[in-house]
Amino acid sequence: MLAVAAKAEIRVDMPPDSPLFLVSMGAAGSRVSSLGGALVVDVKASVDFRNTSNSRVRGVTLLVAADELTAGGKASVSVPSLNAAPGEVFSIPIDLRLLRPRAGMNVPVRVTLDGVLFDTLAFYGPNKLNSRRTMTAWELEARRDRALFAQALREGRESLRRELVASLARQEAEPRGGVQVMRGRPLVSPSVMQIAALNSGGAPVEILGGEAQTSGNEIGLPRIELRNRSAKPVTHVEVRWIMRDKSGREHAGGALSSPVTLAAGAKATVEDRSTMRFADEAAALTGFVSSVQYEGGAIWIPERAVRYCSPEEQRLTEMYRRRGIDAVIAELDRLK
Amino acid sequence: MKHLDERQMASLAGGEAGWLSRWHASRCAECAAGVAKFRAVREVTKSLGSELPAGLDWESLSREMRANILVGVEAAGCVAPRVEDSPSIGWRPAVAFASVVAVVLTGWYLSAPKLVAPPFASVAAADAVVEATPAGLEWKRDGRGFAMLNPRANRVSYSVSAQGAEARAVDYSGQMTITHVVLD
């Protein structure tokens, strides 16, 4: 199936056996402005899909590419925490900005489906961006966090309110931005920093130790040793970094998302061939396992979010902030 | 035409009235009589003024007149409203000029083309970069690029890794949208 937007330059291609039917592609408008010798094109669009499957859709990821303009560059738009029943229509916004030379005025943007996740955790799609792993982890985190908020609600509205306010406070306390990641850039006369491990009891993979190079406000080439302490083979591990600066403030340093072959009980070393530059001088680096994928596709996530706010926690707390506790209670009830 | 008033009659008697008043008086007996009376008074006054009083002391009269003038000036100074020194107008052109400059600079700043604000997180490879900016996630290389713009949201959270950058935003309908730009 092929749809061409008349006003915008966005083309949506859907596989013929897709569980989502493209209802319409509405371009709210595009704006062209000049920047030096280049053109800046802003496109605002919204794609409407109908769920033609027999299951509820929990998440969708669309792959967005402007190949003639950005050879090698790819982007995606994901909508987690959906609850689209069979036959229901839902929208996904696509807001783009293209920067291109004046020559070659027409550069089409191609939108394709990368994955659909259902409430059964079944997945459909080409999965070019590993959407299956990502969306499954989001869905599991969403279920975990809704269960935690529902547990607080059973103790009373005030208990739920305290949980929501505490989460908002944690989110506000996180330093925003300030991290620059550079691939393959060696540090000049670095020293070695040991990486601390924050292992949770139930994690199937533990961090045995590791080290990184450091120089001033930069930390480079972190390398960690992992051990699979579960009975199942592991194919992918995601490790998140926390950098503590000289004044004791903690900064989220991104994640090491690495495919790995770890048989039951086996050890392996993974390395991030990049350098992180922070605003302040680094004093310590800590790593923790935030998700594990087993052979066969099953995903493990921590029982409780540690130093990391899931998309669903962020969504529900934002809903509380804007619309109050009754809206959150209704949402928890709707997504039981 | 209306009859002449007393001022016009007096002026006509002194030979100072205009042609219209003269024309009217030549045809109106009532006004001509009035003019004749003013002429008679004028003649009497002229004859009286031609004879000065005997023993008139011009010096004494001069001092008395000067004294009266000075007293009048002093009295006027007491009852007249105080006139402030007019303020210097030197600062007014300066303020006006500064205002114009401020308006021009503000207009220039607002109209100057800006892609987005400076990034607060980025991922860079040898020939391309992905930047997290308040507007969204930008991929750039050699003057070309594209950006995934954030939806209208109060708060957007960003994260970066060696693979790319991610932005999460909850729009006003309560829907979470996650954009990801991959640096390959």
CB contact under 8 A, A323 and B174: yes
- In tens digits, what is the pLDDT along chain B, a chain of 184 residues? 678 888 888 888 888 878 888 888 888 888 888 888 888 888 777 766 555 666 667 777 777 787 778 777 767 666 655 555 555 567 778 888 888 888 887 776 655 444 445 677 888 888 888 888 888 898 888 777 788 888 777 778 888 888 889 999 998 888 899 999 988 7
CA–CA dist B116, B3 (Å, integer): 85
Q: Is the model more confident about A312 or about A43?
A: A312
Task: Work out the percent of chain A whose per-residue pLDDT is above 70.
Answer: 89
Question: What does the buried/exposed string (b/e) look like for A231-244 if buried means 16 or more CB atoms within 10 Å of the residue's CB?
Answer: ebebbbbbbbbbbb
Q: Any idea how long chain B is?
A: 184
Look at residue A101 and tell me whether its pLDDT is greater than 70. no
Angle (nearest 5°) at CA B151 between A175 and B120: 30
Encoded tokens for A117? 């996740």
* Paired tokens of A116: 């659909």
In angstroms, the CA A273 to CA A280 distance is: 21
By CA distance, what is B148's nearest residue in A? A96
Q: With beta carbons under 8 A apart, name residues in chain B contacting A178.
A: 120-121
The yes-or-no verdict on residue A303 having pLDDT over 90 is no
Which amino acid, residue A224? I
Q: Do B176 and A79 touch (CB under 8 A)?
A: yes
**Interface contact A295, partner B, CB < 8 A:** no
pLDDT tens per residue across span A23-68: 998 776 667 776 666 677 777 888 999 999 999 999 999 998 876 6
Q: Give residue B122's pLDDT.
A: 87
Our CA angle for A216, A279, B143, nearest 5°, is: 105
A272 contacts in chain B (CB < 8 Å)? 162
- The Cα diameter of chain B in Å comes to 125
Q: Is A70 on the interface with B (CB under 8 A)?
A: yes
Asked whether the CA dihedral B20, B22, B24, B26 is positive or negative, the reply is negative
- Please determine, for residue A163, whether its predicted confidence score (pLDDT) is greater than 70: yes
Measured CA to CA, the distance from residue B96 to residue A207 in angstroms comes to 68
In angstroms, what separates the C-alpha of A70 from chain B's closest C-alpha? 6
Least confident of A98-107, A257-266, B135-144: A98-107
pLDDT of residue A79: 95
Residue B174: list chain A partners with CB under 8 A.
315, 318-319, 322-323, 327, 331
d(CA A61, CA A138) in angstroms, rounded, equals: 12
Among the partner-chain residues A75, A97, A274, the one whose CB lies closest to the CB of B182 is A75
Q: Per the CB < 8 Å rule, is A75 touching B150?
A: no
Cβ <8 Å between A315 and B176: yes
Which of B180, B181, B183, B184 should be substituted to probe chain A, the one whose Cβ sees the most A Cβ atoms within 10 Å? B180
Task: Look over chain A and give the mean of its residue pLDDT values, rounded to a whole number.
Answer: 87
Measured between CA atoms, how close is A71 to chain B, in angstroms? Answer: 9
Which of the two residues, A37 and A221, has the higher pLDDT score?
Answer: A221
pLDDT of residue A336: 81
**Å between B125 CA and nearest CA of chain A:** 5
The pLDDT of residue A198 is above 80? yes
Q: Which of B142, B161, B168, B184 should we substitute to test contact with A (largest number of A Cβ atoms within 10 Å)?
A: B161
- Structure ipTM: 0.89
Cβ–Cβ of A178/B184 closer than 8 Å? no
pLDDT, residue B79, reads 60
Q: Residues 303-332, chain A: which have Cβ within 8 Å of B?
A: 309, 311-312, 314-315, 318-319, 321-323, 327, 331
Residue type, A304: R
CA B128 to CA A183: how far, in whole Å? Answer: 10
Say how many C-beta atoms besides its own lie within 10 A of residue A53's C-beta. 17
pTM exceeds cut of 0.80? no
- Cβ within 8 Å, pair B183-A73: yes
Hey, what amino acid is at A281? E
Q: Touching check for A83 and chain B: CB below 8 Å?
A: no
Q: What pLDDT does B48 receive?
A: 63
For A83, the 3-state DSSP assignment is coil
Nearest to A69 among B144, B150, B158 (CB): B144
Are B162 and A273 within 8 A, CB to CB? yes
Do B147 and A36 make contact, defined as CB atoms within 8 angstroms?
A: no
The yes-or-no verdict on residue A2 having pLDDT over 50 is no
A302/A290 Cα distance (integer angstroms): 7
Whether residue A51 contacts residue A35, with contact meaning beta carbons closer than 8 Å, is answered with: no
Which pLDDT belongs to residue A316? 95
**Res. A103: pLDDT tops 70:** no
Q: What is the number of residues in chain A? A: 336
Alpha helices in A249-296 (DSSP H): none
Across the range A212-231, mean pLDDT stands at 92
User: Which residues are paired to A274 by β-bridges?
Assistant: A183
Angstroms from B99 CA to nearest CA on chain A: 29
Q: What is the pLDDT of residue B163?
A: 84
End-to-end distance of chain B based on CA atoms, in angstroms?
Answer: 104
The token pair that represents A198 in the structure block: 């924050």
Confidence tier at A280 by pLDDT (50, 70, 90): confident
B174, A315 contact by CB (below 8 A): yes
Query: Is the confidence at residue A255, as pLDDT, over 90?
Result: no
The verdict on a CB contact (< 8 Å) between B146 and A99 is yes
A116 close to A49: Cβ distance less than 8 angstroms: no
Pairwise CA distance, residues B121 & A287, whole Å: 20
Max Cα separation, chain A? 64
**What 3-state class would DSSP assign to A123?**
strand
Residues A34/A101, Cβ–Cβ less than 8 Å: no
Minimal CA separation from B171 to chain A, in Å:
9
* Radius of gyration, alpha carbons of chain A: 22
Residue A247: is it exposed, middle or buried by C-beta count within 10 angstroms (0-12/13-18/19+)? exposed
Amino acid A161: pLDDT: 96
| pLDDT for the residue numbered B135 | 84
